[in-house]
Amino acid sequence: MQSRLKQAIAAAVAAAALGISGCSSPAARPPVRVQAAPLRQEAFVQSLDTVSTLEATEEIELASQAGGRVQRVLVQGGERVKAGQLLVVLDQTQLRADVAALQAAAETDAFTYERFKGLVSQGAATALQRDEMRAKAIGSKQALRAKQADLAYKDVRAPISGVMGDVSIKPGNVVQAGTPFSSIIRNDQLQARIDIPANQANAVARGQRVQLLDGINPRPLAEGRINLIDPGVNSSSQTLLAKAAISNPQGLLRNGQRLRTRVILGAERQLAVPFSAVTRSFGQSFVFVVGTLRELERDPGKADLAKLRRLPKDTLLALQKPVSLGPLQGDLYPVLSGLDANDRVILSGRLGLRHGSPIQLER
C-alpha cells in the first residue's frame, strides 16, 4: 500500500514538473488577443518642402521734395500709417511770410483789375490799361500758387498706407531735397519668393497652393497660390524661382522674412497605416501584421520554429515587418513599401508581441 502511495506521489510531482516546463515554453503560452484591420487606400497630399523669402509688393522710399530744417517728426519706425497722413514738417517760417505777401499782392492786383474794368466802361481808362492790369493779376495769382506749392513740399505725407521703416532724421536736422530718410512698406500683401529644386521643376505649376510654416505650430502661418514661375534655373543654386501671392491682413509676416514653405503638388491614393500601429527602433519603422507559420518560415528571424510547429496548424502569428512610410498626415502614414493590400495590420494588443508570437483575433 505504501509503495503504491509513493508511486502516485512521484507521478504527480513528475506531471507537475512537466507542466511547469511546458508553461515556460513560448509555444505553450496562450495566444495574445489582438485587434487587426485590413489596409485601405486613402488620399494623401503630395507636397514639396522648401524655403521662401517674403517681399513686399509695395515699398516706397521717403524723401522731402524740398530741403530745410526738420521742425517736427510725427511718426516712429514700425508705426502703421495711412495714405495722406502727415509724417514730417520742415521749417516754414520764411515760406509762410512769402505766401502771405504774395497773397496780399494777388488780392490787390485782382481788385485793381476789377476797378479798371469799370473805368474802361466809363471811358476813364483804356482797354490796353485794363489788359495790363489783367495780366498782372494773373501773374500774381500764379506766383502765389507756386509759393503755396513750395510751402506744401515742407510737409512730408505718406504716399501709401503701410508700415514705417526706420526713421533716420529728428527735429533740428537739415535735410536735402530728394535724400531718403525712411520708407513705407505695405505688407498686407506679400510675395513669397520660393526656391524650387531644379529636379522638381516639372512638378510645380501655377495655381498650386503654398503654405508658409514656422516649424513650431503645425498649422500654416499663411497660405497663397503660385502666380509666377521663372523659366530659367539659377546656375549657382540649381533652383527655380516661383512666386506666390500671400495675404497678410494681421501683419504677422514681414518683408524679408525667410520661412519653411510647402508647395501642395496634388493628391494621390495610397495604402495607409494608422499612427498607433507603427513602432520605431533605431530609426526603422515596423508594423505587426497577421500571418501564418508558412509565412513566418520565409523570414523566421529569431522565432523558435521547432516549438511553433507543435502548435495547431490554424494558429495565427504576429509577423513584424519593416516598412517605409511617408510623412504623417492626420493620424495616418502613407505606405511607401513593406506592406501590400492583403495584409491585416495589428492595431491593439501589441505590447509584448514579438516576431512569431501566437495571436488570437478579437471579434
Residue 18's pLDDT band (cuts 50, 70, 90): very low
Res. 329: pLDDT tops 60: yes
For the cut 80, the answer to whether the pLDDT of residue 160 exceeds it is yes
Tens digit of each residue's pLDDT (9 = 90 or more) over 307-326: 999 999 889 999 999 999 98
pLDDT value at position 285? 94
pLDDT band at 28 (very low <50, low <70, confident <90, very high): low
Confidence of residue 337 (pLDDT cuts 50, 70, 90): very high
Tens digits of residue pLDDT in 89-134:
988 888 788 888 888 988 998 898 888 888 888 878 888 888 888 9
Mean pLDDT along residues 268-281: 91
Asked whether the predicted pLDDT for residue 144 surpasses 90, the reply is: no
Q: What is the 3-state secondary structure (H, E, C) of 245-278?
A: EEECCCCCCCCCCEEEEEEEEEEEEEEEEEHHHE
- Would you say 235 and 205 are in contact if contact means Cβ atoms under 8 Å apart? no
Sign of the four-CA dihedral 319, 322, 325, 331: positive
Q: Are 212 and 259 in contact (CB under 8 A)?
A: yes
The pLDDT confidence band at residue 29, using thresholds 50, 70 and 90, is low
Is the Cβ–Cβ distance between 77 and 164 less than 8 Å? yes
| pLDDT at 20 exceeding the cut of 70 | no
Q: pLDDT-based confidence at 251, cuts 50/70/90?
A: confident
Higher pLDDT residue, 362 or 192? 192
Query: Do 85 and 184 meet the contact criterion of CB atoms below 8 Å apart?
Result: no
- What distances in angstroms separate CA 340 from CA 34, 190, 274, 347, one per listed residue? 20, 45, 15, 16
3-state secondary structure 271-312: EEEEHHHEEEECCEEEEEEEECHHHHHHCCCCCCHHHHCCCC
pLDDT for 3 equals 46
pLDDT in tens, 211-238: 999 877 667 889 999 999 999 998 899 9
**Domains contained in the chain, CATH given:** 26-44+271-361 (2.40.420.20), 47-57+190-266 (2.40.30.170), 65-90+154-178 (2.40.50.100), 92-152 (1.10.287)
Contact 305, 297 (CB under 8 A): yes
